[in-house]
Amino acid sequence: MRPCRCEDVSGGARACGISFCNSRPKREVIQCVTMLPAPGVFHFLWEITSGAVQEGATVRTIGRLACYRLEDSEVTLTVRHGSTQHQLVVLTGFVEPFLPITGALYMMLGECESIEADGTTVLRARVLNCVEGVNLPQLEDAVSEQRRFFQEREREREREREREGGTSAPHTSAEGPC
Amino acid sequence: MDFEGEPPPEEWGLDPFFFMFAKLYIKDILELKPSNRGRKIHFYKSHPVTKVEILGTVVFKQDREKYTCYGVDDSTGVVRCLCWKNGRQNKVSDSGHSTGVLPGARQQQELQELSTLELGDLIRARGRVQTYREQMEISAYSYCKVDDPTLEVQISWMREVPRLYRKYYDKPRLGSDAVKRPGDTGAAGPLTLSKLVTLMSEQLREFLRESKVSTFCLQDLETVDSLVSVACRPLESVSTEEEAEIAASTAKRVRHVFTHATRKLEEEGLVFVKKYYPVKVYQVTVQDQELLRVTRQIILADCALPCNAEQGCHFLEVFRSVSERFRSVNKAALRQVLDALELSSDIVSSTRSHYVAF
């Protein structure tokens, strides 16, 4: 017997009706417990604007707050890469109220809401943190190091699969999470 | 090892993984294979994993009476982390403060703040991995909110974890079959001429060590039954015509195997050629008392020189002097001689290449 993990329905009563049970947690609890969001893979802002991310994918990115439109709950994040200024629109409905500091670096984690016809990507943030003061080159290095590790690992696994199977099975390898 | 690649339970404690909080990616934690022997042990590439440490963003929160379940995302995966609420199980540790015997009201409030996390906060948790309804989750022994405004903690984590994987986690366990032992003749596979020569050289080494023979020639080896029986083993695969010719005749095979095995020992320095005429006579290096005496005298003489007073004489100087007297002694053989002298405390090595005699 183990303590029941069924949902608390009201004032201490358990959904299953008893305090200790070995029964399966009730269906609505199963749905709640297993519905974890997808992991937010780190992408640089310029990668998102150039279309590396599909609609519905969860991403994590970093950019400078250019402007905040309170009435639309929208924020524009920008970043300069090479000689181009890339920008992205982020919907902040879920993270309001927050303190907007124009020009400061923000890290967001959220889903890709839509990709417009003209190529602009709109993200919806679930997490928006101010990270002003971060060492951007160091962050880029760390992210590249992690990506390199995952790519090596994927190559190693493919080689092992080929060695075992003889024929390489076709598989779509998502780019290594980072 | 039974259970296809799983080490037996008596070997689990020999792997440091069993005791440590492994800093695995959440993706790997979710893919941990449960042991066939029970659900409490999981394996990452033949390492037994019981406890892990994770650092990630809270993306999901579920508050219960006895625990709070946080979904932790480290950008490779999201895992449920159960943070227990009762005082016995929950050790909320903030970096560096000691709670003291009776925490004051302010400290209690601080502890409360550190133990309550919201979506978007960074959490560091250490705990046991367990399976619940066929999904991996972590039951935290300790957890805390990490204050990381400039992402320094996350950056150093992103740099540290691949290094740990490359250096420790992805390496096979020490002592496992995956770690090849030196001198492994690769007994699996067909017996080829080169494998036979390697086998013979090992047999010869053993024989010389046990019998304490000082000098021998190839004809003498042919009188030793144990060595001849090894040399006469039929070959299972030949790669060249020459090898096939050698394999066909027993006498040729025996002569070929003995010659090459002795040459191998000569390269390693265990034997050297004492006499070439009328017949090649081999001398076991460390049994040649004359050679040992002469080497010691050379080192003694060289150490008397003022330039060698501090460190002793260099290996190459000794080699030059010795090879004037014993032409067929190579560097490997001289190393054997110097090791034998050091073992009998006649000389001392002051550095890796310098020797001193007293």
**What pLDDT is attached to residue B242?**
76
CB atoms within 10 A of CB A163: 9
Are A110 and A40 in contact by the 8 Å Cβ rule? The answer is: yes
Find the residue in A nearest to B74 (Cα). Answer: A39
Q: Quote the minimal CA–CA distance from B33 to chain A in Å.
A: 17
User: Bridge partners of A69?
Assistant: A74
Q: Quote the minimal CA–CA distance from A89 to chain B in Å.
A: 20
Residues of B at the A interface (Cβ-Cβ below 8 Å)? 26-27, 57, 59-60, 62, 64-66, 69, 71, 73-80, 119-120, 133, 135, 149-152, 155-156, 158-159, 161-162, 165-166
Find the residue in A nearest to B64 (Cα). Answer: A8
Confidence of residue A135 (pLDDT cuts 50, 70, 90): very high
A146 by Cβ neighbours in 10 Å (0-12 / 13-18 / 19+) ranks as buried
Query: Distance (Å, rounded) from C-alpha A27 to C-alpha A20?
Result: 17
> Digits of tens for pLDDT over chain B (358 positions)?
344 567 788 888 888 889 999 999 999 999 988 887 776 789 888 889 999 999 999 999 999 889 999 999 999 999 999 999 865 444 555 444 444 555 577 887 777 777 788 999 999 999 999 988 888 999 999 999 999 999 999 999 999 999 999 988 888 876 655 544 444 444 556 777 888 888 888 888 888 888 888 888 888 888 888 888 888 877 777 777 777 777 778 888 888 888 889 998 998 888 998 888 888 889 998 888 899 999 999 998 888 888 888 888 899 999 999 999 888 899 999 998 999 898 888 888 888 888 888 7
Per-residue pLDDT of A111-122, as tens digits, reads 998 888 777 889
ipTM above 0.90, yes or no: no
**What pLDDT is attached to residue A65?**
94
**What pLDDT is attached to residue A178?**
53
Task: Check if A60 contacts B (Cβ < 8 Å).
Answer: yes
Per-residue pLDDT of A32-66, as tens digits, reads 445 789 999 999 999 998 888 888 999 999 999 99
Confidence of residue A22 (pLDDT cuts 50, 70, 90): low
Task: Check if A44 contacts B (Cβ < 8 Å).
Answer: no
CB atoms within 10 A of CB A105: 21
Q: Greatest CA separation found in chain B? A: 99
Element (H, E) at B50: none
**What pLDDT is attached to residue A19?**
47
Q: Is A164 helix (H, G, I), strand (E, B) or coil?
A: helix
Are A59 and A46 in contact by the 8 Å Cβ rule? The answer is: no
When CB atoms are compared, the residue of A5, A30, A139 closest to B151 is A139
H helices of chain B, in order, are 26-30, 105-115, 152-164, 193-211, 218-221, 225-231, 241-248, 250-268, 289-303, 315-325, 331-343
Residues 6+ apart with CB under 8 A from A64: A77, A78, A79, A103, A104, A105, A106
Confidence of residue A15 (pLDDT cuts 50, 70, 90): very low
- To the nearest whole number, what is the mean pLDDT of chain A? 79
Task: Check if A63 contacts B (Cβ < 8 Å).
Answer: no
Are A54 and A175 in contact by the 8 Å Cβ rule? The answer is: no
Radius of gyration of chain A (CA): 22
Query: Distance (Å, rounded) from C-alpha B187 to C-alpha B236?
Result: 12
Confidence of residue A110 (pLDDT cuts 50, 70, 90): very high
User: What pTM value is reported for the model?
Assistant: 0.58
When CB atoms are compared, the residue of B27, B119, B135 closest to A177 is B27
Give the tokens for residue B15. Answer: 């792997």
Query: Distance (Å, rounded) from C-alpha B139 to C-alpha B67?
Result: 10
Are A111 and A123 in contact by the 8 Å Cβ rule? The answer is: yes
